[in-house]
Amino acid sequence: MSLVAVALVLSGASIAGCADEPPPVEEDMSVEELKKTLALPALRSVRAFDVFSTEGGGFGQAGRVLKYFIDVRSGGSRTYFINANYEENGKVPSFAKLHYEFAKYAIGITDDPATFNQYTYYGDDKRYIAGSLQSYMLGSETIPTYAIQFYPDDVIHEEGILRAVEILKPKIRLGNVRLAMVATGPQQTVERVRDKLRAIGVEPMTIDQVLGSVKYLPLNPGEAWGYLRVFPKDYGMLRPTDIPVFDELPLDLSVVAGTITRAYQDVTSHVNLKSKERGTPNMVLRDASPEHPELARFADQPVHMVVGKTGYVLEPTTKEIVEQKYRERIDKPWIPLPVVSEPAVRDYDAMCAILSPACVNDGGRFGGKATNLGFLASPKVLGRHSQLDSTSHRIGYDLAPYGFGVPVQWYRDFVANNPVLKGKLDTFVADEKNGALSPNDRRTRIAEIQSLFYSGRVPDAHVAAVGAEVAKLGQRFPTMDELKFRSSANAEDIPNFDGAGLHDSFSVKLAARDNADFSCTIEVDDSDAITKLKVKPRTPQCAVKAVYASLWNQRAVEERSFARLDHATSAMGLAVVPAYDTDSDVIANGVVITRVINGGGAIGYTLSLQKGNVLVTNPPPGTLAETTQVTFSVDTTRPDRYTTIRTATPEPWGAPLPGPVLDPQKMGEVVSVARAVEVAYCSVSAGYATSCANVHYDSRKPAALDMEFKVLANGQVVLKQVREFHGQ
């Protein structure tokens, strides 16, 4: 026995079969003995895999994951399957979690981290092979598929993959199970060795193929108590105590206790991100149907639902417990929002001339969206192409939109000048805060209030000030004929409440003229991929009123009530920008989240892309965005790795695109810009992360950024929004 093994035994740890000792018979070991074993030279049972593995991990957080480590120095191949649940003094030590720490502890390597990484991940001349064994439940199979995987940044490919699988395959003896090798990075190719892998009983797959076959996906683990509503016909009747089962996730889902869908969801859609921030469980169950045994059994009954990383549970509960759990969620005081009197519109370029905390926390003067666009325009964030030390100058064009913010105070002025509207709002707010409204009552009252907004009149001075700013934009963009009037409430893009997708934006045509009585109407236009609603006529007067009215959208009211944001202090500003395709057609929409969604601590970003003007945030039914995990290497000389988890389907229920939406160079540009924004944001947002210079390496930061962008046909990227995101 080696000196290292002797030390391990004396310290209470056990590495079965270490050094020259014959391996013990795993079948003779009890579960307790397995728990006290740090590593095994082979996996002889599913029981051992379950004891050694942890829930989730990898892409999509589906199944269980176990780390393996192979020492291939001097042509050898000593293998270790590591127990991630091994404990010392009641805690799991780092050497049970990390390959490098395990190698130092268990086999006594003396490499520094950089050398270890170079000879493990970053070259073909490997001293060590490190990866994971991940379980997936595919399709209608009742037995998991076990996938040999490598870190996304590992350059292992072809003969290197074959060599690793040939070492591991005889040591993975889990009975009659399917084994696969899943490539987690585009560089992990198997074209030359595909047939050889299959010949030894290991199926080569991509992560896209795997997740396309997984029957169950826990998009947001957690638990909920509510009434199970299986494929409800009237979404407007859903309450916060309901757990609906949908075919596809609706675009404008109200507050519910949890969600189940039959179709795969876009992970960066507003509804999924809201589920994460709100803490409501959300899952995909591909075989969901009214006849599904569990769903049919509990239809319209009070249930306790647990969404775990390896499976879900539905069990009966009582209506009293459902009500109790809901009351516990909302049993907290109403939170007042800031009330600040800001008298004038302001150009984004003037909002954050000097980078400071006020750039991301303006106290509710212009609302979250306009404030954050001012932050992006700062010379120390993205700046302008004409500013020599700016990110925009480095990239070669202006990244942040031009435009201006309309202050929140103007909304209050509008309401105060319309006494009938003010009276209706005051009564509605009191009833909503007292919990006196049914869903039907709320819907009726909201429709009445919004109609009063449409028939009101914006003060002439406000219209004139907006017109003057529009004229300035016209001088910069001589061909501009359309603008976007976007919502910018003081109840959105604030800590612990982003308000994504709750309010409406409207387009304005410069040639449009107001009606004689200044009245406005709202129309639904399903042919428009950018906005669901249009205001007629498309004038600044009507767009301002329509955005104001959207503060009282039913879902916005319900979300504020759930978060206990005081409706009496909520108010609406505006973020005005030229139409994004003023200079060139839009070829892609995208979202970048500055953490790996459902990544289990992976270091990187989540990038979602869709072709043309199809939205990622509010995907039309039957469409799917391309989802890519961008993995960052701790070795800054290494390139970022882009792993496509899901290809884009831009046409409803159509065929997936044969390739990526954007070329690698443009994706790299987007990520580079997102990094610059996050570093700047971290520098002025207290508590965002411990180290701003390396914030993109921090997988444990309490918050991340959610950025929406468009890519134009001329190759330019426009960042249309940035906000904090507090989900995982």
pLDDT tens track for 207-218:
888 877 888 888
Strands in 124-221 per DSSP E: 128-136, 145-150, 178-183, 202-206, 216-220
What phi and psi, each to the nearest 5 degrees, are found at residue 116? -60, -45
Pairing of strands 717-725, 216-220: unpaired
Give the pLDDT score at 57: 62
Token pair, residue 165, equals 């699988």
Q: What is the pLDDT of residue 695?
A: 93
Per-residue model confidence as pLDDT tens digits over 681-701: 999 998 898 889 889 998 889
**Cα–Cα distance for residue pair 314/546, rounded to 1 Å:** 42
Q: CA nearest 314: which of 332, 336, 288?
A: 288
pLDDT tens-place string over residues 234-254 = 887 888 999 999 988 777 778
**Alpha carbons 718 and 264: distance in angstroms, whole number:** 28
> Is CATH 3.30.470.20 what the domain over 586-725 is classified as, yes or no?
yes
- Output the pTM of the full model: 0.83
What confidence category does residue 635 fall into, taking pLDDT thresholds of 50, 70 and 90?
Answer: confident
| pLDDT per position as a tens digit, 109-129 | 999 988 998 899 888 889 999
Name the one residue in this structure whose structure tokens are 């790299």: 668
Average pLDDT of the chain to the nearest whole number:
89
C-alpha 300/C-alpha 227 separation (Å) is: 6
Using the predicted structure, report yes or no on whether residue 8 has a pLDDT greater than 50. no
What is 82-98 written as a DSSP string? Answer: E-TT--BTTB--GGGT-
Share of the chain above pLDDT 70, in %: 94
Q: Is 568 left (phi over 0), alpha (psi -120 to 50) or beta?
A: alpha
User: What pLDDT sits at residue 527?
Assistant: 55
In a 13 Å sphere around the CA of 274, the CA atoms on its Cβ side amount to 30
Residue found by looking up tokens 């910069």 in the block: 476
For residue 440, the tally of other CB atoms under 10 A from its CB is: 10
Query: Strands 259-261 and 242-246, how do they pair?
Result: parallel
Cβ atoms of 108 and 52 closer than 8 Å: no
Beta-carbon contacts of residue 535 (< 8 Å; ≥ 6 apart):
506, 520, 521, 522, 523, 542, 543, 545, 546
Whether residue 669 is predicted with pLDDT greater than 90 in this model: the reply is: yes
At residue 601, does pLDDT exceed 80? no
Q: Is the pLDDT of residue 164 over 50?
A: yes
CA distance 249 to 232: 12
- Of 365, 344, 634, 636, give the one whose Cα is nearest residue 490: 365
Please, are residues 721 and 630 in contact by the beta-carbon 8 Å criterion?
Answer: no
Beta strand 521-524 with 302-307 is unpaired
Give the pLDDT mean for 175-199.
Answer: 92
- CA dist 603 and 202 (Å) reads 28
The count of other CB atoms within 10 Å of the CB of residue 449 is 18
542 in helix, strand or coil?
helix
Mean pLDDT of the region 327-348: 92
The DSSP 8-state label assigned to residue 244 in this structure reads E
Q: Per the structure block, which two tokens stand in for 438?
A: 């049914």
> CATH class for domain 216-330?
alpha beta
Q: Does residue 537 have a cis peptide bond before it, meaning omega lies within 30 degrees of 0?
A: yes
- The DSSP symbol for 132 reads E
Of 243, 249, 255, 309, the C-alpha closest to 55 is 309
Q: What's the pLDDT score for residue 404?
A: 97
CA distances from 708 to 92, 402, 507, 607, 717 (A): 39, 16, 18, 10, 10
Contact (CB, 8 A) for 270 and 617:
yes
Q: Could you state, in order of their start, the residue ranges of all structural domains in the chain?
A: 3-213, 216-330, 346-350+364-375+403-578, 586-725
Here the tokens at position 370 are 């306009």
Q: List the CATH code of the domain at 346-350+364-375+403-578.
A: 3.30.1490.20
Closest CA to 640 of 681, 670, 600: 670
| pLDDT at site 671 | 96
| 483-542 confidence digits (pLDDT tens) | 999 999 999 888 778 788 889 999 999 999 999 999 999 988 765 444 478 999 999 999
pLDDT score of 495: 76
Report the half-sphere exposure of 221 (CA within 13 A, side-chain side): 17
Mean pLDDT of 555-561: 92
pLDDT band at 12 (very low <50, low <70, confident <90, very high): very low
Predicted confidence (pLDDT) per residue in 20-76, tens digit: 445 555 666 888 999 999 999 999 999 999 999 998 765 656 688 999 999 999 888
pLDDT digits (tens, 9 = 90+) for 246-286: 988 777 778 899 999 988 777 777 777 778 778 889 988 98
Going from the C-alpha of 592 to that of each of 617, 626, 706, the distances in angstroms are 11, 12, 6
CA–CA separation, 402 and 405 (whole Å): 10
In degrees to the nearest 10, what's the CA dihedral of 428, 431, 434, 436?
-130
Query: What is residue 438's predicted lDDT score, i.e. its pLDDT?
Result: 83
Q: Of the ranges 247-251, 401-405, 449-453, which one carries the lowest mean pLDDT score? A: 247-251
